[in-house]
Structure 1
Amino acid sequence: MKKAVLEKSLDYMQFQNLIILTFCFVITLLAMLYSLDFGSYILIECFLFLFSLLFIAILFTKKGLIIIDENLYSGIFLFGKPIYKKLIPIIGFDCISIVKGKLSTNYAYSYKIDVFHKWEPDLNVSIKSFKICMIEENQKKIKKIITLTDSKKVKIAVDFIIENSTLKYVELY
């Protein structure tokens, strides 16, 4: 098994929201542990503890690529170990290319309620993205492999794919 761990799997706003949620769970757990009898709410305390551990683990996940027996997988890694993988069939594709664009996420929640929409701040977050895609030779069929936001990691991913598969790199446009 060959692997390339590339970058964190959460965007900035997801990461920020998960930190806030984890903080709330941990503070609630600590308050329950120090203020109540330990046995009275043991089920809730276990629930809070397990979900706090789960949220902390999700904060440390990264996305990347895996090659197992000449098959290409996109994967999620936790401390360098793959915890999830998805097969990307490369049969029928000849080359890979990079499509540049922007990832934009608008976290405005009141777009349907005009009264709230007028004073809600614009929470749009936009960053550069690089989508690595597989392409047929006649460019009629395109399939995404992975989307990254760091140009250095894109070069690592492209080199990893070229080195470990039959795909070659071509420049679009």
Structure 2
Amino acid sequence: MKKENLILEPSFNLQQQIIILGISLIPLMFIIALIEAKLNWKGYLTFTFVLLLFSYLFALAFSKKGMIKKGNKLYKAKFFRGHTLFRQKVDLSDRPVVSILKFKKSQKLAFFSAARPDLSESFNSFEIFVLNENHFKRDSVMYFEEEDSAKKAVEFLTTDFPLRHEVFSPNLAR
């Protein structure tokens, strides 16, 4: 079974990466404490589990999002250095159309909330949807902050799957 990956842009922005890395400090403290302790087999098992948890959180912080084509199935996934951390199947049944919708989004800045509680960062989001024929039913596949990434993803979807790209326009007469 042939597998193709499309790795596009980082999964998290800087503030989200800092939060995930901060959470990963908790397993790191356990690792340091377990290194100095005399361990039995349960201790080594705990050490291995905590080390894997720390490694996973660290890899997740610096992961990139993308898509995987495996056979004729589509998955959205997170990658770290080309390796898949996890994936989720995207259902394409009864969805022959793909479209990009542009949204204006904002995200509050977590580290400045005490000084200025309403401080937020706004950005454009390019979200890819798979649609039915009438464009009434839509399912989100993935969103990107860069338009070029969204265009590459649509090109990947239209060349590797039986989807066609259309401009989103729900039509009651269809």
| Structure 1 residue corresponding to 2:152, chosen from 150, 156, 159 | 156
> Which residue matches 1:112?
none
Report the CA distance between 1:139 and its aligned residue: 1.4
Residue type at the aligned position of 1:12:
L
Structure 2 Cα separation of the partners of residues 49 and 58 of structure 1: 14
User: Who is 1:169 aligned against?
Assistant: 165
Residue number in structure 1 paired with 2:132? 136
Counterpart secondary structure, 2:118? coil
Q: Is the 8 A contact 1:60 1:79 kept in 2?
A: no
Displacement of 1:142: 0.8
User: Which amino acid in structure 1 is aligned with residue 146 of structure 2?
Assistant: D
Figure out how many residues of one structure are paired with residues of the other and give that number. 163
CA distance in 1, matches of 2:29, 2:118: 30
**What is the TM-score of this pair, normalised by structure 1?**
0.75
Relative to structure 1, the CA distance from residue 9 to residue 139 in structure 2 (aligned partners, 3 Å threshold; closer, same or farther) is same
- The CA distance in 2 between the partners of 1:14 and 1:7, in whole Å, is 14
* Shift, 1:26, TM fit: 5.2
- 1:53: which partner in 2? 55
Q: 2:12·2:62 contact (CA, 8 Å) conserved in 1?
A: no
Counterpart of 1:114 in structure 2 is none
- Any stretches of 5+ residues in structure 1 without a counterpart? 110-116
Matched AA of 2:81: F
The structure 2 residue matched to 1:145, chosen from 133, 141, 145, is 141
- In 1, the alpha carbon distance for the partners of 2:51 and 2:160 equals 41
2:126 partner amino acid: F
1:73-106 CA deviation, whole Å, 9 max, x = no partner?
1112121122322111211112111010123223
1:34-82 deviation per Cα after TM superposition (whole angstroms, max 9, x unaligned): 9xx5539xx6x94775544233211221111111111111112121122
Percentage identity across paired residues of the two chains: 24
**Runs (5+) with no aligned partner, structure 2:** 170-174
**2:60 is paired with a residue of what secondary structure?**
helix
* Cα distance in 2 between the residues matched to 1:95 and 1:26: 46
How many Å separate the matches in 2 of 1:118 and 1:146? 32
RMSD between aligned residues: 3.2
TM-score (norm 2): 0.75
Say whether 1:98 aligns with 2:112: no
Question: For 1:18, which of 16, 20, 25 is the aligned residue?
Answer: 20
